[in-house]
Amino acid sequence: MDNTKLFWGIILLAFVIALFPYASRWEVEQENRSIQFIFDDHSMFRLARKTGSSVEEVYSRLEIGEPAVAISPWTPRKMTDRGFTFLWPVLDPDRPIPVPSDFGDGRTAGFSGYYLHFFAEEKKEFVFSRLPDFFQPVPLGGENNFSVPPRDENTLFPGVPLGFNDEDIDLIAATGWPTVGRPNVNQNRGDYDPEELLGDLPRLEGLLFDGGETWGYPENLEETALLLEGKDIYLGFVEPFLAQQKGMRNLGLLEEDRVLRLHSVQQGEMDSQSPERIISRYIRSVRERNVRLLYFRPVLAADRGDLLAQNEALLNNLKERLEGLGYSFGEGGYFQPIEIRAWIVLFIWAGLVAAGLLVLGFFYQFSRKNQLLLFVLGWLGGAGIYLIGFRTLFLQGALLGGALVLPLLPLMVVLEKRKGPFWLDWFLISLGTVLGSFFIGALGADRSFILGLEVFRGVKVALLLPLMILAYYLYRERFAGKWKKMLPSLPVFISLGLMAVALFFYINRSGNFPLIPVPQWEIALREFLERVLVIRPRFKEFMWGHPFLLAGLYLFRQRKWPWIASFSILLGCMGLITMINSFTHFHTPLWVSLWRSILGILLGAGLGLLLVLIIRWLEGVLGREKI
């Protein structure tokens, strides 16, 4: 007699206990419904200039809730955008430059750097009084014309911060809105005090970083954390789609209770995308990724007609739709901490260890004594790591273990034990996988995971290793000793070829920026599904995971076309793995991941039954192959 019943009892009890942290996380996610808009000051001034409006009118017409304004230090580039200077890079000293007439012919032999022209004397004084010593403009013809020699590739003249401008500060102060400091740390001159710099801003409410790193990176992050505490301001955590700002995660972990997730749309995207797509992006970030700060750059494309009216309509539409979803506007909402007792975490770990041993039991038969010994050693090892203080390391390991085991256990139990109708087998496997996701959701009941400061490690391993384990299981159960008989057949080559193609797409279409681009028809289908279903189900679940699992189980139970059956079950397992993977996106609210999985099951069931009907038709045309 083995310990199967004991292990299933432990898993069941661990599941019940996991419901408590799962519910706590659900409650914390649902209670936080407050959003704040942050306007980019530089873009707002550009909008005023393009529309011939005053800055005050622009701010008044675009007000939504009580927004904040992100103020960046002036740079030579921004002064050119605002019409105060003319700046032109010179890569070729013989290249003519379209500059004001008192530049002469615009040529200076043997020089490469920048040409700089001032349209106002006071702006020249502003720049010269704030330029660091290592930049020394050289006078050219005329009082307001200069050349600026290059320094190095990391300190480019157009981006050198010159400090905040008093005129901008006064205009924003007149609105009564709070401000958010947004320094560019990559171009930090290093000769000013951050606290003194931020002290110039009225009603300072938050801090963002423009560029690739944070203040204090890499050695003085504690000083930046003390600055946030001393000024009682939040830290805007920009979603790291392309690259994470250096130091941001560690700084966020130091000041976890001050972190708010932020989403922005770049200026080029604002100018090229439709209003509906822009609105959908902002809504998706709030609803599906726990974003509570929306960074807004107005549309500036010249072909959009009345720009001020267009931006006003866009913001009002966005506001109405977010309010319809139950969100309010004002200050960004902080996520409350979730306190989970150690015994709860360790009991969930016991359930995962038991699940792992049940999967292992399909490959190797241990004695009852050795099973218990492995269970105790596995549990003690994890508990020891957790209790001596390596909590994050323990959680990462437990989550990876769960992601490997939870998609396999219900599938292998059904394949091994059940002989019932294929559709009921499929339902039980899908249900078991959904219930298994509660273990992942419960272990992710931690604010650092919800904010994205801590992330799931081992994504590629979790995607591939369960497939490899299942492939070995199917080979051992159905094809061991039969390779010579099976390899010459056409179904074998078709199955192996299709599996290779499927694996290529499966791996290279994962992540935010897959190597294989998403085709336009799929983008259109995604947007349609999102409009109709609110949350878009994942393609790997409903388009091939569940349909192929249903088809594979049908063939497996009938012992027809074994290679096609095994190939289909492996494809179906990709859908189960993706279901669990959805819950490892901890910055996504639980209700979103759960609803996404349910929708995938419902849509996949319809497509799967259609696929089974096609297989039955093919049986009549091609005949049956049995082993």
45-103 pLDDT, tens per residue?
889 988 989 888 999 999 888 899 999 888 888 888 777 888 877 655 455 444 444 44
Residues in the chain: 627
d(CA 353, CA 379): 7
Query: What mean pLDDT comes out for the span 204-219?
Result: 88
Distance of CA 257 to the CA centre of its chain: 20
Query: What pLDDT sits at residue 627?
Result: 40
Tell me the percentage of the chain whose pLDDT exceeds 70.
87
Task: Check whether 190 has a pLDDT greater than 80.
Answer: no
Q: Considering only 24-28, 163-167, 508-512, which range has the smallest mean pLDDT? A: 508-512
d(CA 141, CA 248): 46
pLDDT-derived band at 548 (thresholds 50, 70, 90) equals very high
> Among all chains, which residue has been given the structure tokens 């004084």?
125
Residue 314 sits at φ, ψ, to 5 deg, of -60, -45
Q: What angle do CA 540, 499, 423 make, to 5 degrees?
A: 55
Neighbours of 378 (CB within 10 A): 18
Burial of 225 (0-12, 13-18, 19+ CB in 10 A): buried
Task: Check whether 454 has a pLDDT greater than 60.
Answer: yes
pLDDT in tens, 249-274: 999 999 999 999 999 999 999 999 99
d(CA 161, CA 210): 11
Distance of CA 581 to the CA centre of its chain: 13
d(CA 71, CA 74): 9
β-strands 34-40, 138-139 pairing: unpaired
Query: What mean pLDDT comes out for the span 14-27?
Result: 97
d(CA 414, CA 396): 29
Tokens of 389: 């203080």
Query: What mean pLDDT comes out for the span 134-155?
Result: 75
> Among all chains, which residue has been given the structure tokens 């200050």?
331
pLDDT in tens, 478-524: 665 554 455 555 666 666 667 777 777 767 666 555 556 677 777 78
DSSP 257: G
Query: What pLDDT sits at residue 479?
Result: 61
Residues in a beta bridge with 236: 260
Query: What pLDDT sits at residue 255?
Result: 94
Q: What angle do CA 488, 493, 499 make, to 5 degrees?
A: 150
Q: Considering only 138-152, 367-381, 492-506, which range has the smallest mean pLDDT? A: 492-506
Query: What pLDDT sits at residue 104?
Result: 39
β-strands 204-207, 113-118 pairing: unpaired
Residues in a beta bridge with 106: none
Task: Check whether 306 has a pLDDT greater than 60.
Answer: yes
Query: What mean pLDDT comes out for the span 432-461?
Result: 94
> Architecture of domain 36-73+163-329 in CATH?
Alpha-Beta Barrel (3.20)
Tokens of 68: 């904040």
d(CA 487, CA 485): 6
pLDDT in tens, 616-626: 888 777 765 44
Query: What pLDDT sits at residue 153?
Result: 54
Query: What pLDDT sits at residue 235?
Result: 95
Query: What pLDDT sits at residue 418?
Result: 74
Query: What mean pLDDT comes out for the span 566-595?
Result: 94
d(CA 351, CA 457): 21
Looking at the chain, the domain(s) classified CATH 3.20.20.370 span 36-73+163-329
Query: What pLDDT sits at residue 155?
Result: 61
Query: What pLDDT sits at residue 424?
Result: 92
Q: Considering only 152-161, 410-419, 582-591, which range has the smallest mean pLDDT? A: 152-161
Q: Considering only 166-175, 354-363, 574-583, which range has the smallest mean pLDDT? A: 166-175
Query: What mean pLDDT comes out for the span 134-149?
Result: 80
Mean of the per-residue pLDDT values of the chain: 85
Positive or negative, the Cα torsion across 586, 589, 591, 592? negative
Tokens of 575: 């859908």
Query: What pLDDT sits at residue 112?
Result: 61
Query: What pLDDT sits at residue 103?
Result: 41
- Please state the pTM of the whole predicted model: 0.87
Cα-Cα-Cα-Cα torsion 463, 465, 471, 477, nearest 10 degrees, comes to -130
